[in-house]
Structure 1
Amino acid sequence: MAIEKCREYFRKFNMEDRILEFDVSSATVELAASAVGCEPERIAKTMSFKVEEKPVLIVMAGDARIDNGKYKGTFHTKAKMLSPEEVEERIGHAVGGVCPFGIQEDVTVYLDESLKRFETVFPACGSSNSAIELTIDELEQYSDFEGWIDVCKNWQ
């Protein structure tokens, strides 16, 4: 199970006990915000894309949306999301639980600027009923991210 991959990943940092598991689904921003008890924008949703046939994750605020022009300016290609089957195979987590922790080694992770306005955010932890509260510094540290990017709209 993918949540076990996340638990194992965070065990290396003695943080596995910080993973939250819910009796309800947290598979969408709205459901996650309800389960966690926070504003939807503080849910750090992770979207899966394909850039030159390589898997890329972009972690963004819950109220942010991909801006196709900014995306193309950053990656020099149109935004192409992975199919649900590709997500599970190429990333290591199923849609609804995708996160930048415990993922396949060839996946590149980016964090979107839309997250920087928060002290803490709640990314999923590999399942459709999990999350972890992280500071932005912790998100940087534990996501093994490539860099900050600005590819979103509707959050300013």
Structure 2
Amino acid sequence: MSIESVRAFFAEKAPDITIIEMPDSTATVALASEAHGIEPGRIAKTLLLNAGGRRILIVARGDARLDNRKIKAIFGSRAKMLGADEVQAVTGHPVGGVCPFGLATRLPIYCDISLQAFDEVVPAAGSIHSSVRIDPMRLVKLVDAKWVDICRKASAELPAGGALPSPAP
């Protein structure tokens, strides 16, 4: 029922944001990119990590890779990804649908500056078939996240600006 917690989150904090439900899975960056007809960088992937015994939620552009040196410099230790069962228990969302909205557990949320290359990104919305379109600045405000620089540069950095294409009817 994690999409329901995301619906409740948006109903309370941002009723103008619509959850997009797709017939096909959007559980990976590649699947989400294809389903939405956008480049992988615009997919905002959300990862639950353990950094020095502390759970943190990271949101980054879909084609970015975490940089262990940067993570250690900011969080004081290397980070490990958590298993699917723990991710579901902590976030309330299944792997592939994890997002920073409607979380089951209060977590510190960090958005990598890589998201700032876009005026609109597409994170999941609590299930492997749902997502939202949102300005990364608004995402940060809605979930009380902090900006960090913890990813390697994407192989093909895109310039900022330009709206996503409209969803297919």
TM-score range, shorter chain: over 0.9
Q: Per-residue CA shift, 1:15-70, capped at 9, x if unaligned?
A: 27611000000000010011112111000000110134332110000110011111
User: How do 1:33-52 and structure 2 match up within 5 A?
Assistant: 33-52=33-52
8 Å contact 1:51–1:75 — kept in the other structure?
yes
TM-score by length of structure 1 reads 0.93
Q: Per-residue CA shift, 1:109-150, capped at 9, x if unaligned?
A: 0000110010000000000011100012211122221x1111
**Any unmatched runs of 5+ in structure 1?**
none
TM-score by length of structure 2 reads 0.87
Q: Which residue of 2 aligns with 1:58?
A: 58
8 Å contact 1:55–1:90 — kept in the other structure?
no
Task: Report SS of the residue matched to 1:80.
Answer: strand
Q: Which runs of 4+ in 1 moved over 4 A?
A: none
8 Å contact 1:8–1:16 — kept in the other structure?
no
User: How do 1:10-29 and structure 2 match up within 5 A?
Assistant: 10-15=10-15, 18-29=18-29
Q: Per-residue CA shift, 1:69-125, capped at 9, x if unaligned?
A: 111111111111111111011122110000000013431100001100100000000
User: How many residues are paired up?
Assistant: 155
Q: Which residue of 2 aligns with 1:117?
A: 117
**Any unmatched runs of 5+ in structure 2?**
158-169
Structure with greater strand share of residues: 1
Q: How large is the RMSD of aligned CA atoms in angstroms?
A: 1.4
